[in-house]
Structure 1
Amino acid sequence: MRINNYIILLFSASLFLGCSGTSKIPEGDLLYVGHTISVKKGEEPKKVRKKIKSELDGLIRPKPNKSFLGLRPSIFFYNLIGEAKKEKGFKHWVKYKLGEEPVLMSKVDLNYNQKVIQNYVENRGFFNAISKADSIKKGKKAKANYEVALNAQYKIKSVVFPKDSILLGKEIKLLEENSFLKVGNAYDLDHIKNERSRIDLKLKERGFYYFNEDYLLIQVDSTVAKHEVDLLVKIKNNIPEKAKIQYSINTIYVYPSFNLKRDTVSKRKMDTIKYGDITIMDNKTVFKPFIFDKTLLFNKQDLYNRTTHNLSLNRLITLGTFKFVKNEFKENNTSKNELDVYYYLTPLPKKSIQVEALAKTNSANYSGTELNINWSNRNLFKGAELLNISAFTGIEVQVSGQNKGFNVYRFGGEASLIWPRFISPFQMSSGSAYVPKTKASLSYEYQLRTKLYSLKTFNSSFGYLWKENERKEHNLSLVNIAYTSPNDVSELYQSQIDENASLQKVIDRQLIFGTTYTYTYTNTMLKNKKNNIYFKGGIDFSGNSLGLLLGGNDETPKNLLGVPFSQYSKLEFEFRHYYNFNKETTLASRIIVGGGIPYGNSKDLPFIKQFFIGGTSSVRAFRARSIGPGTFDGSTVTDNSFLPDQSGDLKLEFSTELRAKIYKIVKGAVFVDAGNIWLLNETTEKPGAEFTGQFLNQLAVGTGLGLRFDFNFLVLRTDLAFPLRKPYLPKGSQWVIDDIKFSDGAWRKENLIFNVAIGYPF
């Protein structure tokens, strides 16, 4: 027994030494385990010293091997494998993916790091700073120590802009008011660099096409006073004459059939088409001239402007018609202060066909496949109009849930036509980087829910889409018509209706004739921000004009084409916040608030416009559409295996999720979800479903863990969740935290919900 203990002790010691990373350090060298930085206390506020220390930490090189509880498993795996002769395979993967080469003290240049520290603090205005560097050895390990005394930070005493009589100097002087350099602020080299860039950008907005920020000099005089500096903004001597000239636009040339593979400008005869200030060079009229007049923002005699330059390029790209967009400016031969503008455009193929096979999931916990065939014509009427005709077919099934076995089969098609401009009797235009669009669409879908019913749905719409910038987007559908008609209602479903009359709403014929508007704001494309947000708000009105013309009330609704038209107003808002601790860890939160009010010709909201909650992208601890409304328990309605989708007129939902990288493509998540739906009016069919002042005490709450497998082209998500609060239980018993028993099979069967989905929940 004692021998076995010795063997275990020896094995443990060997493993510890291997994981500690010191077992195979070359003779005479040491394992580098990191550094410390000490910023001595001086006159500076503690906040300044803390910030300087944090920024210096990120500058020190090299980085040590990562450790966990004093162990360095990456070095262990590196040493475990000998030479990996091939650049792929299991050995290479273990040595260079799991493993990491030891960072040795011999690779650490203390003098270089000390100079980096000294240079950095001087650039922050600590001209009298003193820095030192040394190292400490302990066994086979070594650590670098850096010490810096900041002393006093220099402040800006004055900022002097040019007083030249030349045009360039006068223009720079006009930019003084919004300078980044302010009297009394601390000296900072980055602020000086940013000021030069700011002036350069502003001058390019004022016609100085050939100017460059390197032509500016900001001199620093630190002798004017104790711990103060004067800054003098100057134009360098002997800069090119072109840089001093303010250029305006002369002729605008467009080559709409340019081919990158050959010189289609000089080797082919071109027809010349004049349209306003634009000259179109082409051997055939592929595009109508007006499209370029609406897309390009420069006009003859305009001063050159960098923003207008970039906006015009972006508008050409977002037309969706050109594969490549090339642009250049040339000095006009007859005027030294005018530029000719050239746009070389390579069209995409006019017609194309695309076949897609998709895997998908939806909020009702259904997963399935879909086949899409899309045919496009990118220049239907020679005005860059986009015609899309698509057909689809698919199947969706519930792997687990109350509707398991009731598969959904779908097929249908859609035709849409997009004009890259506003089609309107009123004058409408947009000067943003995105071309405004008018869209008309017509679609049909046939949906079969096996054993239950089928639905035929027709949709048509006409409206506008436009973006102010990359963050703000608008979608206004002036006319939105939807007609739904049921077929083949089964005896099973009819028997369900006899037990639960609200199921009739699902298969009622519906006619929606309304207007919708959505506004979206997001900055999630900015990856380096600490905080990212997403907001989407929408309004939906239906039947108001018909109500005025035809009248009608919910007791004796008026018909249009033999179908009662729906009349309601609906609002829905969604806000998301992403707090990025670092590139690998994010706290994501979401709140959804929605409400719809039927009136006039309708007693209830149309089923397709009602709110649902629960499922893979909602409150994940409850099965899809199984929560509410209010404290109503839908599972008690019927003993049959099929359970109805619960719907409501109002919705409130919260979610927060901590996402962290576990290993390469694998991320983990811990989440808490809460929410419910309610009905506006009391109903005997669903006791407890009405919205009251006690709504916060009626929220369903759940929590769980999840894994996200990020394959770049898709994210596969798995979540395991369980409820913390069940709103349908008797008052005082709704919190079920004390009932949690993971070891109990009956509890697991009733409460554990496993979700599989594609993409993040939000």
Structure 2
Amino acid sequence: MEKSRAIITKVLIFQMLVLLFSGCSLTKGLKDEDMVYMGAKVKVIDKKNAASVQQFYEINDALPNKYTKPGIANINVGLYNLFKETKETGIKHWVKYKLGNKPVVFENQMIGNTKAQLTYYLNGKGFFDHEVACDTSSSGRKINMTCTVELNERYRIDSVIFPVDSTYISLNLDDKLQRAILTEGSYYNRDRLDYERSRLTRLAGDIGYAEFSVDNVFYYVDTAKGNHKADIYLRILPPSSGGNHIRYTLDTIHIFPNYSLIDTFSNPLTEAPISGTIKIFESDHYLNHDLINHVLLENTGSYYNRTNEQKTVNRFQDLGLFRFINVKNLPNPNGGPGHMIQQILLSPEKIQNISAEAELNNRSGNFFGTGASVKYRHKNLFGHAEQFNVSLSGQLETQIGTGLSLVNSSDITGSTEIIFPRLIVPFFKIREGKTYIPKTDIKTNYTYQRRIQYYTLSSLVFKYGFLWRETATKYHELYPLVVNKLGVNDKTEEFQRLLDNDPRLQSSFENTLITGIQYNFTYSDQINLRDRNHFYLKNETETSGNLFNLVLRGDAENPKSIAGINYAQFFKNTVDVRKYIPFQRSDLAMRVLLGTAFSYGNSKELPYIKQYFIGGSNSVRAFRLRGLGPGSYVPEDNQSGGIGNQFVDQTGDLKIEMSAEYRFPIYRFFKGAVFADAGNVWLLRSTDKPEGVFGFSDFYKELGIGAGFGLRLDFNFFLLRLDLATPFRAPMRGSGFQWVIDDINPVDKSWRREYLRYNLGIGYPF
């Protein structure tokens, strides 16, 4: 029976392959005279002349993007040709137009278009005397284009001439500022001219010229004098309506906190003046007027300032209360020319929301877990945009088929948080920045963990700190006061014996008081979610016990305590770096995580919750959670199902983790990924686990490596992820790390049970 099934499966696969590759001809369905265009490449003769251009390889981006992308063995074109005609929806349409690529037929004008785009790029870099020649070559029905480029000498700026007419003079712009970017003797670069156009527009907008735009700035480049030098003439174009540019005074600001295209004109508005020239028009008084006045940076009675307008928008966005913010600048009919009224239209989001989540997870050893959480958020608790968050979550885990307790472990966590949109510092008044609104964060968290065969752990945390955005890309979190009381109780006799035989583990599982400072810095150049090409960096730093130890002078051999509890003293720093690179319909995501932590002074070891671990659905997915390391350490096998087999001390003081994931669409909200992960944790010092100590000379030999593929259901607001992974390089008892690729055997049930990891998660791993 099994043999018959195998034969039928092979026949079906063979038929599918025959059907697929029958359509893989590039010219199927084309006319006899049609040639398939395979793209162009650039050959630069005098590359030395390009040395002055940063990232000159971007010249390839100037090539037209319309060419045939056949894929491996022409499979992309084959999928397109698989069906001759399809409906506008359905699986056939999806295969043909989503997975497949239509072959591009060569046309003669492609040569001229390619030359024109290369010429535009090269002129923009100052190679005005360049020469471009594009030729084609064919092989069968395929045709390729090669463009040979001779750059010749690059032009420099000889002089910059500013206008003396009344239009330019009326802007009151400083020539010195202009020359900061366009300096005589520097290489010509169109990008610098574009930057100057934007900068001039901003400067004009900051001194009252509200209608001034980049289209009003014009540069004329004169290369007639020869000797590879160019003169640049600046011109300020008048308004399209003629005359001079008008400098506006901001007379009045009208704010609409309840703005809606649907309800604005159906609900009566109440006028509430903040001052004589700043008025609020609202249908529902939900936001304190003093807060609105605090957010505003613009001054009525003075010239309009575009930068202050943008900062005001940023500050309103920072409150987290509005879905849309729109600003309209309108002429004041009662003020005459040069006078304006500003309308700030604020479309609010829902002030309160409640959400719930449920999750399932599994890990090796027949562990199965389920969890649920509920969260409540109020974004305007006291009417000053205070954000109040409450959450409660719980998890249960059981080990199937062991004959042990039905519930193996349980976790309950509750937290409360309130964020004030201002700095609250006792006895001090701190001057706030103008671009964004700083916030004060006060939160508490309580966690109860019950490990049936091991212990009960309770953790009570209190944090007080400040959150502020330095720029659109830089974000800071500083908690000068962090208190965390850890209690370890109800240790079983078996677990206590394990602790007695492991001094490091014993020191990690003690009642501990963590008191210190936390600082997090985040950099991300993803300004909005549509920016797929972006860089992310987060650095987390934490210290504990230093202030107490200045007074009490404790050490590891004679630790001091506060209220009968030893205080921990340690330093921990973690750096998480990510890069996201978009392709046409797919993305490449990469991550490197480095972490170091060490105890000193009053502590022998780090508290267990502060140690690093690796593995699981958001880490190296080919290894179970806490299932790798430290170093080449491998725990002893325990076939009896005892505690040593289930509670594994695989944590460390140092962590290296690397991941790369290629994400691609499959069908609508159904997406896929292939990935590779590597990493491990190490100890900085140890007497009982020498194989777990980090060494610069051979740490790279102790990296666990794995790979796999994933399936995702992406509903935009929610993503469910299933990743399957297997180790490629793993530690073996007595022989260190070994390559295990040759052992991969997916049809073997025992191999799947031992090495195939199923990782179920919510959201992307990074």
Q: TM class, shorter-chain normalised?
A: 0.7 to 0.9
Q: Is the 8 A contact 1:62 1:107 kept in 2?
A: no
Kindly report which structure 2 residues correspond to 1:421-432, keeping only aligned pairs within 5 A, or say none.
421-425=422-426, 426-431=428-433
Kindly report which structure 2 residues correspond to 1:662-681, keeping only aligned pairs within 5 A, or say none.
665-679=671-685
Aligned to 1:229: 230
Q: Secondary structure at the match of 1:24?
A: coil
Aligned to 1:316: 316
* Alpha-carbon distance between aligned partners in 2 of 1:695 and 1:138, rounded to the nearest angstrom: 52
The superposition leaves residues 532-571 of structure 1 with CA deviations (integer Å, 9 ceiling, x where unpaired) of 35131312223x455566776656655555x414231322
Q: Is the 8 A contact 1:31 1:105 kept in 2?
A: yes
The superposition leaves residues 420-454 of structure 1 with CA deviations (integer Å, 9 ceiling, x where unpaired) of 11111322243354321112222333322234333
Q: Does 1:66 align with 2:70?
A: yes
The superposition leaves residues 340-396 of structure 1 with CA deviations (integer Å, 9 ceiling, x where unpaired) of 433233433443333333457899998744322223332222211122222222335
**Structure 2 counterpart of 1:268, which letter?**
L
* Alpha-carbon distance between aligned partners in 2 of 1:13 and 1:483, rounded to the nearest angstrom: 66
Identity, % of aligned positions: 25
The one of 733, 754, 757 aligned to 1:754: 757
Moved more, 499-508 or 94-103: 499-508
Aligned to 1:287: 287
**Structure 2 counterpart of 1:307, which letter?**
T
Q: Secondary structure at the match of 2:97?
A: helix
Q: Secondary structure at the match of 2:495?
A: helix
Q: Does 1:19 align with 2:24?
A: yes
**Structure 2 counterpart of 1:676, which letter?**
W
Kindly report which structure 2 residues correspond to 1:232-271, keeping only aligned pairs within 5 A, or say none.
232-237=233-238, 244-263=245-264, 267-271=268-272
Q: Does 1:519 align with 2:539?
A: no
Aligned to 1:83: 85
Change (3 A) 1:255 1:373: same
The superposition leaves residues 631-682 of structure 1 with CA deviations (integer Å, 9 ceiling, x where unpaired) of 7654379973534342667314243546475978333233432441234xx5
Q: Is the 8 A contact 2:728 2:740 kept in 1?
A: no
Change (3 A) 1:643 1:556: same
**Structure 2 counterpart of 1:25, which letter?**
L
The one of 478, 481, 491 aligned to 1:479: 481
Change (3 A) 1:644 1:181: same
**Structure 2 counterpart of 1:534, which letter?**
L
The one of 599, 615, 625 aligned to 1:597: 599
Q: Secondary structure at the match of 1:736?
A: strand
The superposition leaves residues 107-136 of structure 1 with CA deviations (integer Å, 9 ceiling, x where unpaired) of 865555555555555555555666566655
Change (3 A) 1:34 1:334: same
Q: Is the 8 A contact 1:256 1:347 kept in 2?
A: yes
**Structure 2 counterpart of 1:705, which letter?**
A
Q: Secondary structure at the match of 2:690?
A: coil
Change (3 A) 1:716 1:64: same
**Structure 2 counterpart of 1:673, which letter?**
G
Q: Is the 8 A contact 1:420 1:437 kept in 2?
A: yes
**Structure 1 counterpart of 2:36, which letter?**
Y
Offset of residue 319 of structure 1: 0.8
Q: Is the 8 A contact 1:613 1:677 kept in 2?
A: no
Aligned to 1:353: 354
The superposition leaves residues 44-84 of structure 1 with CA deviations (integer Å, 9 ceiling, x where unpaired) of 7366999889636753364124254xx43334333332322
Offset of residue 475 of structure 1: 1.5
**Structure 1 counterpart of 2:495, which letter?**
Y
Q: Does 1:651 align with 2:632?
A: no
Kindly report which structure 2 residues correspond to 1:118-129, keeping only aligned pairs within 5 A, or say none.
121-122=122-123, 125=126, 127=128
* Alpha-carbon distance between aligned partners in 2 of 1:16 and 1:630, rounded to the nearest angstrom: 48
* Alpha-carbon distance between aligned partners in 1 of 2:111 and 2:580, rounded to the nearest angstrom: 36
* Alpha-carbon distance between aligned partners in 2 of 1:244 and 1:365, rounded to the nearest angstrom: 75
Change (3 A) 1:473 1:281: same
Change (3 A) 1:506 1:673: closer
Q: Does 1:299 align with 2:287?
A: no
Q: Secondary structure at the match of 1:72?
A: helix
* Alpha-carbon distance between aligned partners in 1 of 2:406 and 2:244, rounded to the nearest angstrom: 74
Which blocks of at least 5 consecutive residues in structure 2 are unaligned? 1-15
* Alpha-carbon distance between aligned partners in 1 of 2:413 and 2:230, rounded to the nearest angstrom: 72
* Alpha-carbon distance between aligned partners in 2 of 1:591 and 1:149, rounded to the nearest angstrom: 44
Change (3 A) 1:25 1:257: closer
Aligned to 1:534: 537
Aligned to 2:464: 462
Offset of residue 313 of structure 1: 0.9
Offset of residue 255 of structure 1: 3.2
Q: Secondary structure at the match of 1:178?
A: coil
Change (3 A) 1:348 1:79: closer
Q: Secondary structure at the match of 1:536?
A: strand
Q: Is the 8 A contact 1:416 1:441 kept in 2?
A: yes
Q: Is the 8 A contact 2:386 2:419 kept in 1?
A: yes
Offset of residue 288 of structure 1: 2.5
TM-score normalised over the length of structure 1: 0.81
* Alpha-carbon distance between aligned partners in 2 of 1:52 and 1:476, rounded to the nearest angstrom: 41
Kindly report which structure 2 residues correspond to 1:610-759, keeping only aligned pairs within 5 A, or say none.
610-618=611-619, 623-627=624-628, 629=630, 634-635=635-636, 640=642, 642-646=645-649, 650-655=653-658, 657=660, 659=662, 665-679=671-685, 686-688=688-690, 696=698, 700-712=702-714, 713-714=718-719, 715-723=721-729, 729=734, 733-737=735-739, 741-742=743-744, 752=755, 754=757, 756-758=759-761
* Alpha-carbon distance between aligned partners in 2 of 1:148 and 1:549, rounded to the nearest angstrom: 72
Aligned to 1:156: 157
Change (3 A) 1:438 1:365: farther
Offset of residue 201 of structure 1: 2.4
Q: Is the 8 A contact 1:666 1:710 kept in 2?
A: yes
Q: Is the 8 A contact 1:371 1:394 kept in 2?
A: yes
Moved more, 356-365 or 701-710: 356-365
Q: Secondary structure at the match of 1:200?
A: helix
Q: Secondary structure at the match of 2:64?
A: coil
The one of 22, 45, 63 aligned to 2:49: 45
Change (3 A) 1:374 1:199: same
**Structure 2 counterpart of 1:21, which letter?**
L
Kindly report which structure 2 residues correspond to 1:132-281, keeping only aligned pairs within 5 A, or say none.
139-143=140-144, 154-164=155-165, 167-171=169-173, 173-180=175-182, 182-186=184-188, 188-237=189-238, 244-263=245-264, 267-274=268-275, 278-281=278-281
Q: Is the 8 A contact 1:118 1:131 kept in 2?
A: yes
The superposition leaves residues 461-515 of structure 1 with CA deviations (integer Å, 9 ceiling, x where unpaired) of 2221112123222222233232333455445434544555655556543333333
The superposition leaves residues 234-259 of structure 1 with CA deviations (integer Å, 9 ceiling, x where unpaired) of 12256667963444544444333444
Question: How many equivalent residue pairs?
Answer: 734
Change (3 A) 1:391 1:346: same
Q: Is the 8 A contact 1:365 1:616 kept in 2?
A: no
**Structure 1 counterpart of 2:463, which letter?**
S
**Structure 1 counterpart of 2:538, which letter?**
F
**Structure 2 counterpart of 1:20, which letter?**
S
The superposition leaves residues 402-434 of structure 1 with CA deviations (integer Å, 9 ceiling, x where unpaired) of x99974322232222111111113222433543
* Alpha-carbon distance between aligned partners in 1 of 2:547 and 2:127, rounded to the nearest angstrom: 70
* Alpha-carbon distance between aligned partners in 1 of 2:103 and 2:696, rounded to the nearest angstrom: 61
Aligned to 2:328: 328
Q: Secondary structure at the match of 2:355?
A: strand
Moved more, 739-748 or 208-217: 739-748
Q: Is the 8 A contact 1:634 1:644 kept in 2?
A: no
Which blocks of at least 5 consecutive residues in structure 1 are unaligned? 1-10
* Alpha-carbon distance between aligned partners in 1 of 2:441 and 2:731, rounded to the nearest angstrom: 45
